[in-house]
Structure 1
């Protein structure tokens, strides 16, 4: 089924947050923590990153029910030096550990120019761009790394070993849009394959190989095989880099031992690595913002290749999508609504309320 033929219902961002918070609290998450997780998930939906939004709730709740994700866990922060901290996620939601970690990094950067936080014993934290946005909202540049469960072969290999672990970074600007990069080292994020499977859609043939090592457009077959790295050995090396900084350095699982977020059999033990940087270390803040604005204008104003109508700054498409969805709502197919409402039914929270349908 092509995406253009799919029938959607639309949910407002505020309704989505209320719904997600209700399910989380019903599963034992403290209300204040539920608000953070819900905000991060809905940010992804609003930005069009549906693979990392509220549709993750059923898999997260399965892990909570199985006792391999602690819904009540509160991350523990330790300051190691004036500019270095570590967060123990205590096997709780990755959103909470990353939020606390970036908050700490930002405070250190405000005083010392830079702050670095390593995070261990965490879980999937959704769309990396929300952590970057947290730094941008505080006027900071940032680097955001995480590792993840095996999905990619190393270059020259044939079995899953490295994760489709995103590399993300950002910088504030002045009058123009901020710079936000959030990309996986694979041709496509694995969440897009789960999304296609959920919606009964096919995937491009260059995304993944099936269990026999052949290209496939069937998402179910792709999930039995391996993802393909972008740029061949370059994408593979980036995936290894994420494991070095997020897994090896933090003390979390690494080298293929992170548990898949859809596998409710054991803790994931994900690691993250965050850096916040004060942008006016080497020049006046206004000069920095002017330089960022100039960079934006040079990028989007570049001569266009044949057939190109518009050039976008990294992160701009998602920001435009967010502005659009703040008005139109978040699109969901019927199967997604049923799966979400089943989670609400299990804990007696209110079902999701659809604002309109196609």
Structure 2
């Protein structure tokens, strides 16, 4: 695999401006384009390239094929003082999810907790950007979504459940970082398979099975087969849980009915479930932050197993990657730059600007 210093780097500001220009040229409002761009670039900054700017070509293909409405706005319905629902109206998932978290945070600031269900949405990228939205507002959060079929249920062999991420977070203290967990119920996120395919790379053989049910290191064969759940039945059950809270509860597609972001046949009909929680409900905020400091220190200072140099808090590796890439730029391979510039040429906007 190529090292980052051999790749083409792009400043995060240039990447955001490029995405905004593409989206605006496709009919997306400036406000929504900026929300999408921030979410995608945050993923690249945190090292989650599978959910970063390289998603744009598939999103725009869905726009061109008429299965994603670039001009629509999400609509909000208040159900109770602490519960609301957002209808994504088949627009980009990012603005719908952003509105949901913004609303959940607002309710939590007044009532201690806010819960928002989202229906008729689309892929919203990396879940951690929504957790960050809550953390930046001083809130704890839960972020669930369902997704297109990729996993078998435990004991099955066909795609039924999505590789639907489980994400949550909490603010840190003066001497700790925020807790940010964002993980798929599979051994690896499906987006990493697409990333390997784009880059002409192999994948570890324990990530997926091919169409014949055999382990494969070929990303193309893996995408025709099934992803493997982490922990066997435990990963399968977590994937079903995401479908219950995000799909069944919201009124969106579920039980294998979600359309994936690379499928141009019909709208995604993705569902999300978002909760914001005020951290000082049961103690002062100072006490909460001090307790988070203790937790952080106990985790990272734990006795290390043989061969381990450092123990990281959930989200810490990504934070360190972000700090480095804010300074050095985001790495891309030439094929990814070329694919992005094809979209720019198609829409008549300048190509992505590489770092000097």
Could you say which TM-score interval applies, normalised by the shorter chain? Answer: over 0.9
Alignment partner, residue 61 of structure 1 = 60
Shift, 1:4, TM fit: 3.8
Aligned mates of 2:140, 2:355 — CA distance in 1: 37
Secondary structure of residue in 1 paired with 2:351: coil
CA-to-aligned-CA distance 1:174-225 (integer Å, 9 cap, x gap): 1210000000000000000000000000000000000010000000000010
Q: Check the 8 A contact 1:3/1:201 in 2, yes or no.
A: no
Structure 1 runs of 4+ off > 4 angstroms? none
Shift, 1:6, TM fit: 9.0
Shift, 1:103, TM fit: 0.3
Alignment partner, residue 95 of structure 2 = 96
Matches within 5 A, 1:331-350: 331-350=331-350
Alignment partner, residue 325 of structure 1 = 325
Question: Number of residues paired by the alignment?
Answer: 355
Secondary structure of residue in 2 paired with 1:101: helix
CA-to-aligned-CA distance 1:235-293 (integer Å, 9 cap, x gap): 00000000000000000000000001101111000000000000000000000000001
Shift, 1:108, TM fit: 0.3
TM-score (norm 2): 0.99
Aligned mates of 1:345, 1:280 — CA distance in 2: 51
Q: Check the 8 A contact 1:6/1:333 in 2, yes or no.
A: no
Alignment partner, residue 48 of structure 2 = 49
Alignment partner, residue 247 of structure 1 = 247
Alignment partner, residue 269 of structure 1 = 269
Secondary structure of residue in 2 paired with 1:345: helix
Alignment partner, residue 303 of structure 1 = 303
Matches within 5 A, 1:1-358: 2-4=1-3, 7-175=6-174, 176-356=176-356
CA-to-aligned-CA distance 1:305-332 (integer Å, 9 cap, x gap): 0000000000000000000000110000
Shift, 1:304, TM fit: 0.3
Aligned mates of 1:157, 1:146 — CA distance in 2: 22
Q: Tell me, which stretches of 5 or more residues in structure 2 are unaligned?
A: none
Shift, 1:7, TM fit: 3.9
Q: Tell me, which stretches of 5 or more residues in structure 1 are unaligned?
A: none
Q: Check the 8 A contact 1:106/1:115 in 2, yes or no.
A: yes
Q: Check the 8 A contact 1:17/1:42 in 2, yes or no.
A: yes
Aligned mates of 1:316, 1:70 — CA distance in 2: 36
Q: Relative to structure 1, is the Cα distance of residues 118 and 7 closer, same or farther in structure 2, using a 3 angstrom cutoff?
A: same
Q: Relative to structure 1, is the Cα distance of residues 306 and 284 closer, same or farther in structure 2, using a 3 angstrom cutoff?
A: same
Secondary structure of residue in 2 paired with 1:106: helix
Secondary structure of residue in 2 paired with 1:86: strand
Shift, 1:173, TM fit: 1.2
Q: Check the 8 A contact 2:4/2:331 in 1, yes or no.
A: no
Shift, 1:3, TM fit: 3.7
Q: Check the 8 A contact 2:114/2:277 in 1, yes or no.
A: yes
Aligned mates of 1:240, 1:265 — CA distance in 2: 24
Shift, 1:5, TM fit: 9.1
- RMSD over aligned CA atoms reads 0.9
Q: Check the 8 A contact 2:209/2:226 in 1, yes or no.
A: yes
TM-score (norm 1): 0.98
Aligned mates of 1:212, 1:89 — CA distance in 2: 37
Aligned mates of 2:231, 2:265 — CA distance in 1: 33
Q: Check the 8 A contact 2:70/2:91 in 1, yes or no.
A: yes
